[in-house]
Amino acid sequence: MVGQGPIDMPLSTTDEKATMRPSFPRLLRQFMRSVDIVDDELRAEVLKRLGDYLARDPNVNYAEIMRVVTSQDKDTLALRTEWRMLNKEVVLSDEYAAASLSDIDSGSGGTNALHAVRRNRPMWMLDPNRGLLGVDAVNRWPGQSSGSLGVYKRPDLVGSSNIGPFRTSIIHPLRYNDFIVGALDLESANHLEPVASARREVSILADALGTLLGMRRAADHPKVLRGNALRDLAIEASQIKGLALTKPRLFFAWPEAPEDRHCKQVVSTIRGVLDEYEDHVEISDWSDKRMPGSVMNQLTQDIRSSAYAICYFSEPDPKATGRYVDNANVLFEAGMLHALVGDEGGWILVREEDSRCDDPPFDLSGLRRIEVPRTQQGVLDESRLVDRLHRTIREVVIGVS
């Protein structure tokens, strides 16, 4: 094991609650935290579930888990392949990296995984021109410089000529307690930007796998408890498509064609702010052109696949000038959000001020809520609304308060 130095984690633990959809890394981490001992049988079962899961992910073309071990000459530490998957097939091997950790310090070279472990830094390697990875690749993981981490080197699988080429290389140290125990390497033929949710997904998976490696040599865990936990992991994980390495989706719901020009201005302002976050999220507007078929099925699919949501509830009260009511369609969609993805952290409620609305149909406490600021004459204070939207969206989507 390598002693752990300082590492800049991508997001705080509280920000993990901002992602609404379930994920295999979270399930796996929860499972690993529930066991006391990991033997070879449990390790093999967990890695099988990992292989099944990654095989369904179109963004992962190569995956490798490496363990920190004593090198063959017994003089220094090195990385040894624990498990790898190539072209959706698991390849068992027991290979050592071409260099040891001491070679990094001496300037003799070494793989990217060795650099990441020695420096205790995650890496998200991309070509600046969105091309294939090569000598010009840089580390795009925020807060991690690329200059000291070496040139990108393609993983080497002995006897194979069909590995790569890749456009994205993600390497994350694996830690257990106060030690680095290995590294996770994910390679993709697609160009994947290191958005906050993707970095969080990789970090959670690395946390779970670090625990797996760190506890591997412990004694047997009771088979009944282990079997039940693995069964639950398999059932829940089978419903999840893949790692969240692409931009997450944000669902935007608002009243259909509001007659009040002030409502239209609110919708336009929200859309304008969301356009500034197109590098972080894919916006799904309920009014987008639908494909033929059941509108309800399409709406349900949109909501299920969304990590975040913004719901603007209000429309003019036809019985009272200057007052607003909650739109029935948006309330229905908010109810679906609550039922399908829960009510913690990932969605933002936008509503006119309480003084201009009747009581809401359900308890809004505990939800992220933005009140639309207006003057006494009912004119929208656009600058204040924009500021509130930016602060809330940055907290929820990017993890910056």
244 assigned to some structural domain: no
pLDDT tens readout for residues 163-175: 668 899 999 999 9
In terms of domains, do 192 and 269 share one?
no
The CATH number given to whatever domain includes residue 393 is 3.40.50.450
pLDDT tens readout for residues 10-27: 333 334 444 445 688 999
- pTM of the predicted model, to two decimals? 0.61
Is 240 in contact with 24 (CB distance < 8 Å)?
Answer: yes
CA dist., res. 255 & res. 247, Å (int)? 26
242 assigned to some structural domain: no
364 assigned to some structural domain: yes
Which of 237, 267, 291 is a domain's end point?
Answer: 237
In terms of domains, do 39 and 8 share one?
yes
In terms of domains, do 81 and 198 share one?
yes
Query: Mind giving me the DSSP string for 5-50?
Result: -----SS-TGGGGG--S--HHHHHHHHHHH-S---HHHHHHHHHHH
Residue 303 lies in domain: 249-398
In terms of domains, do 324 and 383 share one?
yes
In terms of domains, do 198 and 315 share one?
no
> What averages of pLDDT result for each successive group of 10 residues across the chain (401 residues)?
43 42 85 86 90 90 88 70 83 58 57 81 90 85 59 55 78 89 92 91 94 70 56 69 77 74 87 91 70 60 80 85 83 73 70 80 70 89 94 83 60
Into how many domains does the chain fold? 2
Which of 204, 237, 270 is a domain's end point?
Answer: 237
Which of 192, 217, 237 is a domain's end point?
Answer: 237
In terms of domains, do 253 and 233 share one?
no
Bridge partners for 249 per DSSP: 282, 306
In terms of domains, do 210 and 306 share one?
no
pLDDT tens readout for residues 224-250: 456 656 776 776 676 666 676 788 888
In terms of domains, do 226 and 261 share one?
no
- Angle at CA of residue 215, ends 149 and 123, nearest 5°: 15
10 Å Cβ neighbour count for 158?
A: 6
Instruction: Give the pLDDT of residue 25.
Output: 92
In terms of domains, do 153 and 257 share one?
no
The CATH number given to whatever domain includes residue 184 is 3.30.450.40
